[in-house]
Structure 1
Amino acid sequence: MLAKITTALAVAASLALTPVAAHATATTATAKPNLRACYDGKCKLTLTKSVSFRVSSRFGITRLAIAFNSSTVKVRGTGAYVSSQAVLGRGSTGSVNGIGVRILSLSGSKAVLRLSPVR
């Protein structure tokens, strides 16, 4: 009888841990983008929400903010007394103060962009 109870408890414990392990794997798969890698204006970003990050002052701006929805991506560059922005659609290319932006894919929940210096 004790063996049956021990086995039942072991099975119940292993089943209780399954959702936690699955959640940990899912969380790891949706890691935050490395925004520091974009400081030089060259990186690939996979975004699931709006972001804002510092960029080199050689572009005439010091911060880039990116927001998106299912049809457009808004990229806004700001610095001391300057503001510049581009609104881009799916599959398009544009630039903000010398930082080129290419939309690789776009949906309501995710945007994949490639940034590259154009000067």
Structure 2
Amino acid sequence: MPATITTALAVAASLAFAPAVTTAAPATVAHAAAKKPNLRACYDGKCNLTLTKSVSFRVSSRYGITRLAISFSSTRVHVKGTGPGVTSQAWLGKGTSGSVNNIGVKVVSLSSGKAKLQLAPRR
């Protein structure tokens, strides 16, 4: 066999056994980089939240509270506002709305793993 054919066959054989290179990120990395809610945007009492776990964040003292804590299950959302000497809370179901010290909370959707909420100041 001529040298060029032998060289070509050797190159082809080495490529056939080369490991495949992939540029896709592993699923665990993509999941870990999932978008976290911007809780600082809720400081003024107005934001949209998509939650996958319980959260607690600061709110403006103009509402008479300084912190909101939100937890949920597949059937209800618990919103608790606390501040110096005050506690206010609401239990809400899917599609309902209520308020905690003039911060309105609407439950847009709800499942065992995710809650979508809208917060807005009440006048």
* TM-score normalized with structure 2 length: 0.84
Aligned equivalent of 2:116: 112
In structure 1, the gaps of 5 or more residues are none
Q: Which amino acid aligns with 1:88?
A: L
Instruction: Provide Cα deviations, 1:90-118, integer angstroms capped at 9, x if missing partner.
Output: 10000000000000000000000000000
Report the aligned-residue RMSD.
Answer: 1.7
Q: Which amino acid aligns with 1:104?
A: V
Aligned equivalent of 2:46: 42
Q: Which residue of the other structure, out of 14, 21, 26, is the alignment partner of 1:5?
A: 14
Please list every run of at least 4 consecutive aligned residues from structure 1 whose deviation after the TM superposition is greater than 4 angstroms: none
Aligned equivalent of 1:56: 60
**Structure 2 CA distance, aligned partners of 1:25 and 1:103?**
27
In structure 2, the gaps of 5 or more residues are 1-9
**Structure 2 CA distance, aligned partners of 1:52 and 1:62?**
11
Q: Which amino acid aligns with 2:101?
A: N
Flag the structure with larger Rg: 2
1:19, CA displacement in angstroms? 5.3
Percentage of identical aligned residues? 57
